[in-house]
Structure formats: C-alpha cells, structure tokens
Amino acid sequence: EAGVTQFPSHSVIEKGQTVTLRCDPISGHDNLYWYRRVMGKEIKFLLHFVKESKQDESGMPNNRFLAERTGGTYSTLKVQPAELEDSGVYFCASSRNGYGYTFGSGTRLTVV
C-alpha cells in the first residue's frame, strides 16, 4: 500500500505570500492529522479530520491557517499570509480507526 504522501517536500516563500501544502493519506484512512515542528520545539498538533469533517482544530495557531479535506480524501493546509514564525516542518499522518498513525515525510516550510 502507498504511504502518506506530502508535497512539496520543501517550500521557500517570502513573508506575506501564500503557500498551500498537500497531504494524500493512505487510501481508506478516514482519520487525517496535521502536525508542525517549529525549530527547537516539540511536534505540535494542528488539527484532525475524520473524513471531510474537522474533528479537532484546537491546535491551529491563528486564522492565517486554513485546512480543508474536500471529499474526505486528500487534505490541503494553506497559510495566508505567511509569517516568519510559520517556518518549520509540517507533518501529515493518517489512521484507519484513530489508532496507529502513519506519518508522511513532511514539508519543510521556510518563510524569508
């Protein structure tokens, strides 16, 4: 089975620009999660989808971040406008039943 796929793997953008990250979960996994690791800090939860619904978005830092999962398949995470402190590695994970996450390889976002 294909794993969790994220792209791009790297993105460098200027402050104020918009970036959209994409995550393709494992086929059949209803649960999809976004996490972020900012340099020197822990990997922090952003949000959790069950199919197309947001189950928990308590970790979203502010309204510059918008996550969608139309149709319950792939998900996008848009940052608009990006700020310097948004730099970090964004991880996506999926799970069939809420247990046993499989992580993607992450997107390294650098805002300059």
Selected binder of other proteins within 13, 17, 52, 59 (CB under 8 A): 59
Coil, helix or strand for 24? Answer: strand
Q: What length is written for the chain?
A: 112
| Residue 39: count of CB within 10 angstroms of its CB | 7
Q: How far is the CB of 94 from other proteins (least distance, A)?
A: 12
111, two tokens: 């805002």
Q: Which of residues 29-48 bind other proteins (CB under 8 A)?
A: 31, 33, 35, 40-45, 48
Asked if the peptide bond before residue 81 counts as cis, ω within 30 degrees of 0, the response is: yes
Q: How far is the CB of 103 from other proteins (least distance, A)?
A: 4
Q: How far is the CB of 76 from other proteins (least distance, A)?
A: 19
